A = this chain, B = another copy of it.
Amino acid sequence: MEIIRSVDQMRRRSAEFRDAGSVVALVPTMGALHEGHLSLVRLAGELADVVVVSVFVNPTQFGPSEDFERYPRDLDEDARLAADAGADVVFAPEAREVYPAGFETVVHVQKLTRKMCGAFRPGHFEGVTTVVAKLLNVVRPNVAVFGQKDGQQAAVIERMAADLDMGVEIVRGPTVREPDGLAMSSRNAYLSPEERKDALVLHEALEYAEQLYRCGESDAALLLDGMRTLIGSVKGAEIQYVAAVDAKTLEDVPELGPGVMFALAVVIGKTRLIDNVVLGERKRGEEAGGSHDDG
C-alpha cells in the first residue's frame, strides 16, 4: 500500500489509475480509523479496483471551542488498518498544502446545512463540503463512500456532488456499532467509563422509535417526544436535537415511513455524540392503520 503526502503526487497517481482503466473509490476520513471506517474501506473495495483512503484532520470543520487540537491522530496505525481493510493508497496531505496562504474559497450547501448539526456547529458543514470538494477534485474518484452514521453530512455531500456536476457517485455505508449498540465514533475515546454507559441512551432512543414504528406507529411527533423523555432520564445526557426527517432532503416529516431518518445529537459530559437510524419498509402485517389515536 502507498502512502502519499503531496497533492500533486496524488493527482498524478490517480490519473495513472484512470488511464489504466481502473475504477477508483475514495473514502474520506479524519483518521483515528475504527471498524466503522474500515467497513467503508471494504465496501469501497467491492465497488472499485483502487481504493484511496484520505486521512486529514480538517481544521476548518471544527469550531473554535471544539476538539481540533485533541482529536486523535496516528497515521502509522491508520495506514496499517487501512491496508488490512484493502486500501491501495492512504492520502494524507499536510494542512499547509491543503490551505496555503491566501486560501479563501468555500463550497456551501445552503439549506441542508441549516438545521440539526448545522444549527449547533456554525461553519462546520462549509468546512466539510469545501475539503471534500478539494479531495474529490484531486482524486477524481468514480465513487466516494461516506458513513450513514453522519447522516446529515451524507445528504449534504450528495447534494453538493449533484449540484456541482461532480460526476462522482456518492455511496453511504451502514453504521457499525459496538456490541452494546453504541455507534462507532472516534470521539467515543473521550468518554469516561460512566459516560460510556450514559452514551448508550442514543442507541436506545433510536431503537425505541424504530420498534414502535415497526409495531405500526406512524406519528413522528409522538415518538420524538418519547425519545426526548427517554434521553432526559439520563442525568449526564444533554439533548442538542432529536429529529425525524427525510434521509435525503432532511425535511421534517410528520408521518413515518421508509426513508425517514430519526437523528439525534446528545452531549454526554463534554463529548458530543450523534447517531441515527433510517426506517425501512414495514413487513406485511406490521402496518397498523390509525394506530395512534389523537383523542
Interface positions of A (Cβ within 8 A of B): 7, 11, 102-112, 129-130, 133-134, 137-138, 140, 159-160, 163-167, 249
What is the bound-complex CA distance between A241 and B159, given in angstroms?
A: 38
What is the bound-complex CA distance between A134 and B162, given in angstroms?
A: 10
Kindly list chain B residues whose C-beta atoms are within 8 Å of the C-beta of A109.
104-105
Query: A11-B167, A134-B165, A165-B137 given as contacts; is B102 within 8 A of A160 (CB)?
Result: no
Choose among A107, A129, A134, A160 the residue with the greatest number of B CB atoms under 10 Å from its CB. A107
Kindly list chain B residues whose C-beta atoms are within 8 Å of the C-beta of A167.
11, 137-138, 140
What is the bound-complex CA distance between A238 and B177, given in angstroms?
A: 66
Tell me which of B103, B105, B112, B137 contacts A104 (CB under 8 A). Answer: B112
Tell me which of B7, B104, B129, B163 contacts A165 (CB under 8 A). Answer: B7
Tell me which of B104, B130, B140, B164 contacts A159 (CB under 8 A). Answer: B104
A137 to chain B minimum Cβ distance, whole angstroms, is 4
The 5 closest A-B pairs by CB, nearest first: A105-B163, A137-B165, A104-B110, A104-B111, A134-B165
Q: Determine if A107 and B107 form an interchain contact, defined as CB atoms under 8 angstroms apart.
A: yes
Kindly list chain B residues whose C-beta atoms are within 8 Å of the C-beta of A7.
165
Number of copies: 2
What is the bound-complex CA distance between A194 and B130, given in angstroms?
A: 48
A212 to chain B minimum Cβ distance, whole angstroms, is 31
Q: Determine if A102 and B249 form an interchain contact, defined as CB atoms under 8 angstroms apart.
A: yes
Kindly list chain B residues whose C-beta atoms are within 8 Å of the C-beta of A111.
104
Tell me which of B106, B165, B166, B249 contacts A108 (CB under 8 A). Answer: B106
What is the bound-complex CA distance between A130 and B164, given in angstroms?
A: 8
Kindly list chain B residues whose C-beta atoms are within 8 Å of the C-beta of A134.
163-165
What is the bound-complex CA distance between A134 and B166, given in angstroms?
A: 8
What is the bound-complex CA distance between A9 and B130, given in angstroms?
A: 27
A86 to chain B minimum Cβ distance, whole angstroms, is 26
Which chain B residue has the least Cβ–Cβ distance from A108?
A: B106
A246 to chain B minimum Cβ distance, whole angstroms, is 12
